[in-house]
Amino acid sequence: MSRDRVERAVFAVLRPVVVVCFLIATLLPFYYMLMLSLRPIEDLLRRPDSLFVDLGRLTLDTYVDVLRPVAEGGQGFLELLGNSAVVATASVLVALVIAVPGAYAVGRLEFFGRRHVSSLFLAVYLFPGIVLAIPLFVLLTRMQLRGSLVGLVLVYIAQTVPVAIYMLKNYFETIPVSVEEAGLVDGLSRVGVIRRISLPLAMPSVVATGIFVFMIAWNEFLFALLFLVERRDSWTVSLGLAQLSGSIEVPTTVLMAGSVVITLPVVLLFFLTEGLLSQGLTSGAEKG
């Protein structure tokens, strides 16, 4: 048999095997998370090696426990989910309001320093959060803004606007100039063109960018830890889960329910918009 035939045969077998291995590796931890969240803790301790829920012992008490307010003996995740939702939504709205005009300017308008602006944003995007954390921590301590969600939202905006501009800019560049010129000829101002013509055309990209910002703000941990740790009532869910996962008093299965609760919104959003999102992020990569 020739080398070519051997290789083809090997890869024909290997390819599906590799795909299945990757699927197991990526999905198993999430399945495990879900499975543990539906079992009572005693059941987990008795049969740690089981991969299946005993249907007779299936329980949703873990979810009740994790969501119930602290005052009623629960872990208060419902309130924390509210905090996260407020922080993430505010970050998305403000970031988009700032980034849409900015991206249009960088993508379409010729002005002094346009190129430098792009590399500045890239640098900001790449810059280590931990270096930034120290002065911001000191600053907020001084302004007595630590523990307030406003400070957190400001940081999230600053961290996401550069990448949002990058994603949106790529899309604005694909809109034919002639469409916009027609608007200008008809007497619209530049801002009018953006609002009436470019923005509606760029809507898919705006949505994808908004979701991306939402996921970053929802998942963020370091700044939430630094700014909010002393005030339990303003914790985000990520911070809440991290703080409680170290304690012995809260059963692991209850915290698994908490993990499912914080993971679900992000994964759902992601699955709904996966195509849009991947395209928005990698639109520079096809060119090589």
Partner 1 sequence: MARTLRQHDARTGLLLLTPTLVIVLAVVLVPLAWSVLIAFQRVRLIDVGRTGLFEKLTADNFARVFASDVLWNSLRTTVVYTAGSTFLAIALGLVAALAVRRPFPGRAFVRAAMLIPYVAPVVAVTFVWRVLLNPEFGIVNSWGRRLFGWDDPVAFLSQGRGEITLFGLDVPVPTALLTVIAFEGWRYFPFAFLFLLARLSALPGDLEEAATVDGATPTQRFRHIVLPQLMPVIAVLVVLRTIWTFNEFDDIFLLTGGAAGTEVVSVRVYELLTVQRNVGAAAAQSVLLAVVLVVLVGAYLWLLRRREGTRT
- For partner 1, the binding residues in 60-89 under the rule CB under 8 A are none
Q: Which of 202, 213, 262, 280 binds partner 1 (CB under 8 A)?
A: 262
Q: Which of 64, 82, 141, 150 binds partner 1 (CB under 8 A)?
A: 141
Residue number, 1 or 55, with CB nearest to partner 1 = 1
Q: Which of 80, 155, 167, 213 binds partner 1 (CB under 8 A)?
A: 155
Q: Which stretch binds partner 1 (CB under 8 A): 57-65, 72-80, 197-205, 268-276?
A: 268-276
CB 78, CB 67: distance < 8 Å: yes
CB 280, CB 167: distance < 8 Å: yes
Q: State the minimum distance, in angstroms, from the CB of residue 264 to partner 1.
A: 10
Identity (one letter) of the amino acid at 273? T
Asked if 174 touches partner 1 (CB under 8 A), the answer is no
Both tokens of 51, joined, read: 């991969």
Q: State the minimum distance, in angstroms, from the CB of residue 94 to partner 1.
A: 9
Asked if 217 touches partner 1 (CB under 8 A), the answer is no
Asked if 247 touches partner 1 (CB under 8 A), the answer is no
Query: Which alpha helices (H) appear in the chain, and where do they start and end?
Result: 3-37, 41-46, 61-67, 77-108, 114-126, 129-142, 149-172, 177-185, 190-193, 199-201, 203-219, 222-228, 237-245, 252-272, 274-282
Cα angle vertex 230, ends 229, 232, to 5°? 80
Both tokens of 153, joined, read: 């939202």
Residue number, 41 or 201, with CB nearest to partner 1 = 41
Using CB under 8 A, which residues numbered 107 to 136 contact partner 1? Answer: 109-112, 114, 117, 120-121, 124, 126-136
Residue number, 127 or 200, with CB nearest to partner 1 = 127
Asked if 45 touches partner 1 (CB under 8 A), the answer is yes
Residues 6+ apart with CB under 8 A from 89: 214
Of 131, 213, 217, the residue nearest 165 (C-alpha): 213
Q: Which of 53, 86, 158, 175 binds partner 1 (CB under 8 A)?
A: 158
